[in-house]
Amino acid sequence: MKGYRAVWPVVLIGIAIAAVSTPGSKAFGEALSIGFVDLDRIREGYKRYQDALGSIRGVKDKEQANLDEMSATFDKAVRQFELKEGLFATEEQKKTELEDLKKKWNILNEYKATKDQDLERKSRETLGPLIEKIKTTIKDVAANNGYHMIFKQSDLAYSDPRLDITDKVLAALNKE
């Protein structure tokens, strides 16, 4: 699968060249204009994206603090159970306390799973529209500057820095 990922940019370039060199094509005889963007730089430099990440990190840190507190409480209950293990008056009392520990463990795990799902949903809801905005802006910048294709820099073995439109995309994104 990794080999397939490395080949697709070459295939796309081949298709684009064939399309623009086909007689009757709107781009026939027109030079193919190709550019690239550094998506990591765009995510790092897009203020709204970074603000959203900060918000998500804040929620994650708060939930992690709650989880750490619950884990510490559970660990304390386990240590207390271990200290009392030989001192239970009856086997039934030991069994009851052990079941109570299992319930606390299940509550802790359910809490973690729920909060992980909530955080994943919040991330999708928050970042999804921003990612779409990035894609739309790349298309708009490409169209306004006469580019036929824009690639991700991470998919290219080599790229001439003159073809980098990352700064133009960032300027358009941060203009709003």
121-176 tens-digit pLDDT: 999 999 999 999 999 999 999 999 999 999 999 999 999 999 999 999 999 999 97
Tens of pLDDT, residue by residue over 35-86, are 999 999 999 999 999 999 999 999 999 999 999 999 999 999 999 988 888 8
Over residues 16-41, the mean pLDDT reads 72
Distances (CA, A) of 159 to 2, 69, 108, 145: 20, 49, 50, 18
Predicted TM-score (pTM) of this structure: 0.72
Reply yes or no on whether the pLDDT at 1 is more than 60: no
CATH topology assigned to domain 33-175: Protein Binding, DinI Protein; Chain A (3.30.910)
Burial class, 125, CB count within 10 angstroms (exposed 0-12 / middle 13-18 / buried 19+): exposed
**Where along the chain do its domains lie?**
1-32, 33-175
Q: Which residue would you say has higher pLDDT here, 31 or 5?
A: 31
Of 47, 9, 39, 34, the residue nearest 166 (C-alpha): 39
Outline where DSSP puts E strands in the chain.
34-37, 149-152
